[in-house]
Structure formats: C-alpha cells, structure tokens
Amino acid sequence: MDCDFLVVGGGPVGTTFASLVAKKAKTIVLEEHMRIGEPVQCTGLVAPRVVELAGAQRTILNKLNGAIFHFPGGQDVEVFSKEIKAVVVDRGELDRICADRATRNGAIIRLGERFVDGIVQKDRVVLRGRQGAASTEHDALLAVGADGYKSNLGQMAALERSKDMVRGIQLDIEHQEERQDIVHVYLGRKVAPGFFAWKIPCGHMTRIGVCVSRENDAPIAYLSKLLKEQALEGCQRITTISGMIPLGAPTRTYSERLLLVGDAAGQAKPLSGGGLFTGLMAAKHAAETALTALESGDFSANGLASYQERWKADIGKELDRGYMIRKGYLRLTDKKLEAVGRMLNKDEVREVLSTGDIDFPSQVAPQVLKAAPGLLKLAPQFLRSVFSR
Ligand SMILES: Cc1cc2nc3c(=O)[nH]c(=O)nc-3n(C[C@H](O)[C@H](O)[C@H](O)COP(=O)(O)OP(=O)(O)OC[C@H]3O[C@@H](n4cnc5c(N)ncnc54)[C@H](O)[C@@H]3O)c2cc1C
C-alpha cells in the first residue's frame, strides 16, 4: 500500500484534511497544477474565523464592517457593524499556507500529478494518474475527493453532483474606493440573474465581479455592463479570474473507501457561494471519520456514513436553509425584489441584519421576518416551510 489516505486535490480543503491526519496516517495529496494556489478562482471574502482556522492572518488584504445591498429600482440598503464582519484575503497565499502546514505534519504533496481514473477493490482503492508523459498508480485504504466542483473522483464512484451551479468572473482593477470598510452587493435579474455582483475595496485596488446561474449569458456580459455603470471600464486590469461554484450538496458525500469534501461535495454556501468556511469544517469531520476508520479497519460505505452525519450536524442546516432561500430568491422578479429592498430599508431591520454572520446568513432570517413582517406576505407558505425546519 502506497499510503493510508490518498487525497485528490491540493486546494485548501484537501490540504487541510491532509494536515489533520498526516501525523497519524501516511497521506499523499495529488495536485494537477505545478504550484499550489494557482490559478486562483475565488474572491477571498471570508469571516475572520476562516483566517484563524487556516492560520493565515498574513494573507489579509482588507477588513470590512458591512455591506451596501443595491436593489433594483435604486434602493440601497446599508448594513454596518462596529465589528469586523469579513476580511478579504490573498487566496493563493492562503492555499499555500494550508499546503505548507500539511507538509510540515508529514503529508506528501505530489504537484503536477492528475488523477485520471481508479477502482475500488475489496481491501484498497487504486487510483491511476498522469504526471507529464508518465502514468502513475497509487493504492490506499481510503481516497478523499477534494478535487473541486468537477470531482472526477466523485464521478468514479458514481456519486451525484451538486444540485445547482453558478459561474462567475472577477477582475482586480487599479482603482481606490473612497470607502474601504464596506462591500457592495448588486442584486437583480438585469445585473446578475440567479446570483449577485460585487465590488470590494482592497486599498489601491478594487475587486469587482459577478456570478450568474448557468443558463444565462456568460457572466462577462454582465461584468462589462457593471463596469460601465460604475464608470470603471477604463481602469487598468491587474488580474482576471473565473470559475464555477457548486450549490446544494448531493444526497451522498461518501461511498465505499471514499469521501468527498469541499466543492467536490457541493458544500459551498448557497446564498453567498462562499466555500472556504464550510469546506474547512467538512475537512475536519472527514479527518475524524478517516482516523476512526483507520483504527477500526472499517472503510465500508456504512462505516464512513458518520462523515455525512458529522458535517450535516455542523453546517447541514445552514446549507439546506440557504438552498431553500436561494430557490425562493430565483423566483423573485425584479419588481418583487424592489419591494423586498423597501421592506429591508428600515432602521430596525438593518440593525438585525448587522448582527448577522456571513457563515450562517440564514440565522438572522427569523428576526428579519419579525422586523419586516411584510416579507411573509410575499411568499407566506414558502417562508414558513423554510423556517419551520
Ligand atoms: C468567482 C468565485 C468567487 C468565490 N469567492 C469566494 C469567497 O469570496 N469566499 C469563499 O469562501 N469562497 C469563494 N468561492 C468558492 C471557493 O473558491 C471554493 O469553495 C473553494 O475553493 C473550495 O475549496 P476546495 O479545496 O474544495 O476546491 P478547490 O479550491 O477547487 O481545489 C480543488 C483542487 O483540486 C485540483 N484538482 C481537480 N481535479 C484534479 C485531478 N483530477 N487531479 C489532481 N488535482 C485535481 C484542482 O487543481 C484544485 O487545486 C468562490 C468561487 C468562485 C468561482
């Protein structure tokens, strides 16, 4: 056996899993790219707890206290807190910190090696790959798919993919926003059908992007429009990134000798698309399950089912509620969204919103509904069914 645990994917979730198990189990990580953290496919907006979890304080580019939500019809709802609610990080650097920690704990990271296919046998899992022109093969007791939204490993095990997907594009541009403490969020079908657009200050540069549902035009069309509206189209472009975000976890995130974690398991938050916090939490639960299986020798699907119980107990409710609210959001016309903006734009509602936590956004919803009861009238049955869960 080459190793106990073979992780496909050297993103932050795969390497965090590796760092948590590598002192007790021989762990190999396969990463198709030659350098960890490249290419970046992320805005890097996270709650401060995420940088603590990742030990990545030095990656912080800016700290934010709130947001202005721009609704259709020109309604702007500002939510502000004295507390730091979110930070923007250098995502590539955060990934490298996670990978260094895994290596320090004894994991082996094989760069430039791509997993291609594999087979689950009675006593092991065998994964085949490519490194340059060479074919590779590894066997392990357990394979962990941390290979992002496409998850070839999930496909190998015939596990379902995430329920939904949005695609995004983002630019870093040379432009200094006057207010450095607030993120702008743009809503509405004309701006970002099926999701939202954003503008985030990072000192001398500004991060501006948009995500849309898959069935719409490419997000670049919406980004060009936003840049024009914001009179930013002439700014020097520093970087462009794009990518997909899987939303709505599939019914099963494990099978015999296999666990899926992070984007591979559709664990990003359906309301914001943020997958770092949830992925790192799921990596912790996957690590605990893997070490228990190593002790008992039981890598059957039944034996590994506790992984899903653990992560669901921790972040499952938020992900489920978020997904339901997203489904309701998708049904809102711009006219209705405009009405929502008006209902939220009251002191008592903004105060409730300012207590919210970006990792658990649905938690403030019951108080928001109390402060803005008109919202219930928009979709009474739908909202009651979400919050009776
Ligand atoms: C436009 C955009 C903006 C985002 N903004 C935010 C944000 O602000 N905050 C936030 O929390 N999240 C954000 N996300 C989501 C976040 O980027 C992901 O949730 C996070 O990267 C998930 O980490 P992961 O390790 O599961 O997967 P990934 O980071 O995708 O890592 C998977 C790794 O697996 C490797 N891999 C894939 N297939 C193979 C293979 N066959 N063999 C070997 N290696 C393989 C890939 O190269 C990659 O390095 C954003 C995503 C997008 C697209």
Mean pLDDT of the residues in the chain: 95
Q: What is the mean pLDDT of residues 99-120?
A: 98
**Per-residue pLDDT reduced to its tens digit, 63-74:** 999 999 999 999
Does residue 45's CB lie within 6 angstroms of at least one atom of ligand 1?
A: yes
Amino acid at 307: Y
Q: How confident is the model at residue 384 (pLDDT cuts 50, 70, 90)?
A: low
Q: What is the mean pLDDT of residues 91-111?
A: 98
Using a 6 Å cutoff on CB, does residue 170 contact ligand 1?
A: yes
**Closest protein CA for atom 9 of ligand 1:** 274
Note if the pTM is more than 0.85.
Answer: yes
Q: Ligand 1 mean position to 241 CA, how many Å? A: 12
Q: Is 32 in the pocket of ligand 1 (CB under 6 A)?
A: yes
**8 in contact with ligand 1, CB cutoff 6 A:** yes
Residue minimizing CA distance to atom 52 of ligand 1: 42
Phi-psi region of 114 (alpha: psi -120 to 50; beta: other; left: phi over 0): beta
74 or 380, which is more confident: 74
Tell me: pLDDT of 387 over 80: no
* Length of the chain as a residue count: 389
Using an 8 Å Cβ cutoff, are 337 and 344 in contact? Answer: no
| Position 366 pLDDT exceeds 90 | no
pLDDT at residue number 215: 86
Per-residue pLDDT, 250: 95
What confidence category does residue 376 fall into, taking pLDDT thresholds of 50, 70 and 90? confident
- Please tell me if the CB atom of residue 361 comes closer than 6 angstroms to any atom of ligand 1: no
pLDDT band at 382 (very low <50, low <70, confident <90, very high): low
| Mean predicted confidence (pLDDT) in 285-296 | 98
CA of 67 to the centre of ligand 1 (A): 24
* Beta carbons of 13 and 54 less than 8 angstroms apart: no
Q: Please write the tens of the pLDDT for every residue from 153-175.
A: 999 999 999 999 999 999 999 99
| Strand duo 66-70 + 134-145: pairing | unpaired
Range of weakest confidence among 11-20, 217-226, 372-381: 372-381
Q: Is residue 255's pLDDT more than 90?
A: yes
178: CA distance to ligand 1 center in Å? Answer: 31
Q: How many angstroms separate the CA atoms of 275 and 146, rounded?
A: 12
From the CA of 68, how far away is ligand 1's center (Å)? 26
Q: Quick one: which atom of ligand 1 is closest to the CA of 88?
A: 8
The predicted pLDDT at position 383 comes to 65
DSSP state for residue 32 in the 8-state scheme: S
